[in-house]
Amino acid sequence: MRQMLENCQVIPCEAGGDPGVIHDGAIIINGNKIEAVGRREDLAPLRSQFEPHQVRDLGGRWVMPGLMDMHVHLSLALPGNGHLLAQVEDDMDLTMRAYRNALNALEAGVTFLRTVGDARFVDLHIKRAINSGTLKGPRLFCAGHMVIITGGHGHGRGAKEADGPEGFRQAVREQLRAGADLIKLAITGGIAGEHEAITDSQATVAEMEAAAQAAHNAGRRITAHAGSAKAITQGVLAGLDCVEHGYFLDGWTVDLMVKQGTFLVPTLSVSRAPEYMRERGCPQWMIDKALRAGEGHMQSYQLAVAAGLPVAMGTDMLPAEDYDNTLAVYREMEWMVEGGMSNHEVLLASTIKAAELCQVQDTLGSVSVGKLADLIAMPENPLDNMQNLRKLDFVMKDGEIYRDF
């Protein structure tokens, strides 16, 4: 079916410094793709092709591409109460909980989720159900199980433990066999590990090289949970395409990442969310550990932004979870602005730059002719104030409306 959205301000989110807002705009959608976008007066001659029910007046709303969250665990169960409950979940319970989290994210305007480590391949199962039309939901781009050393970060929470280059190579191939779109490693300790420091190196260079080779041989990108500059430097030289968190970067490491074209997904929220953690029953040691990392985490992000490192938005929370009087995905974007990016840069990091990271920029990430019709809208301009995203009240995926004002 063809449809026309009109009386809107369009933020294309195409790469470049100028936002290129189309005021008093209109968008023509044919099936699940964008057929035309431009000023309403320029598309007016085509309006006669539509029946009244095919034309939607957006009331002056600001339209942009659907948000793309690059760091999600649909089966997230933090240390504490959540982890205890997860231990007794059967497969159906886990699947229903993870699917609910995915659907909530879509209703919050996140039309694309990059999952970076889930238990029992639940992300891949849900993806297949959505892609087949069995379930409604966002687009999923999945890593399957995170690959870690024995007892490494994430052990006991659905990660795949392996050791040595051959062990890592086999573990990566197991994820590929299951249908993984990307590979995720953990190469240092993290906030959620009680008996590890964030800066502890875990994977060896040889293990990382073997994993990267296996991923790249299959045409997949590889990313890693990583905290220390030393481990990140080793990982980038071993072939990482992206770094998650980057808690403690230094100038030399950032310059290397820029040279290599390595992405950063900073997940700023995870080191500045004490109330969020308390409400979920996280232990005090974890809260203290997160807060101790907060200053260095923000400074690392600021180093990356100043150096021009490619950055994509990721929450490392469930995107639609309550956090700091809003939803996690909106607050993460606000932190990114507070850390030094312009509003437009953060919108790009949450759309077209994220699409580039996942190599889907030809079909997603901007309001452009020929791309899939994944759109969100809100009454006020997020270029003026990122908190205007909190007022989002319209979500479309594949030309189908999932949330309406």
CATH of the domain at 59: 2.30.40.10
* 126 and 225 housed in the same domain: yes
Number of Cβ within 10 Å of residue 301's Cβ equals: 25
* 339 and 392 housed in the same domain: no
Alpha helices, H only, 115-204: 122-131, 164-178
The pLDDT of residue 86 is 76
Q: How many separate domains does the chain show?
A: 2
The pLDDT of residue 343 is 98
Q: Tell me the pLDDT band of 16, cut-offs 50, 70 and 90.
A: confident
**Which residue's entry shows tokens 């950063």?**
264
* 136 and 161 housed in the same domain: yes
Number of Cβ within 10 Å of residue 39's Cβ equals: 13
* 156 and 222 housed in the same domain: yes
The string of pLDDT tens digits covering residues 335-388 is: 999 999 999 999 999 999 999 999 999 999 999 999 999 999 999 999 999 999
* 91 and 219 housed in the same domain: yes
* CATH code of 306's domain: 3.20.20.140
Alpha helices, H only, 138-283: 164-178, 205-217, 229-238, 251-260, 274-279
**Which neighbouring-strand residues pair with 160?**
147
* 99 and 184 housed in the same domain: yes
Q: Tell me the pLDDT band of 28, cut-offs 50, 70 and 90.
A: very high
d(CA 254, CA 351): 23
Task: Flag whether pLDDT at 21 surpasses 80.
Answer: yes
The pLDDT of residue 224 is 99
Task: Flag whether pLDDT at 85 surpasses 80.
Answer: no
* 280 and 173 housed in the same domain: yes
**Torsion sign (Cα): 230, 247, 203, 350:** negative
Task: Flag whether pLDDT at 394 surpasses 90.
Answer: yes
For the chain, report the end-to-end CA distance as a whole number of angstroms.
21
* 193 and 257 housed in the same domain: yes
Strands (E), 350-405: 375-378, 394-397, 400-403
Task: Flag whether pLDDT at 82 surpasses 80.
Answer: no
The pLDDT of residue 65 is 98
* 285 and 371 housed in the same domain: no
282 close to 79: Cβ distance less than 8 angstroms: yes
Q: In which domain, by residue range, is 25 found?
A: 2-66+365-403
The mean predicted confidence, pLDDT, of the chain is 97
* 230 and 195 housed in the same domain: yes
**Which residue's entry shows tokens 């290129």?**
20
Task: Flag whether pLDDT at 131 surpasses 80.
Answer: yes
Instruction: Calculate mean pLDDT across residues 282-290.
Output: 97
The pLDDT of residue 25 is 98
Whole-structure pTM over 0.85, yes or no? yes
The string of pLDDT tens digits covering residues 35-77 is: 999 999 999 999 999 999 999 999 999 999 999 999 999 998 8
* 71 and 55 housed in the same domain: no
Return the DSSP state at 18: S
* 125 and 270 housed in the same domain: yes
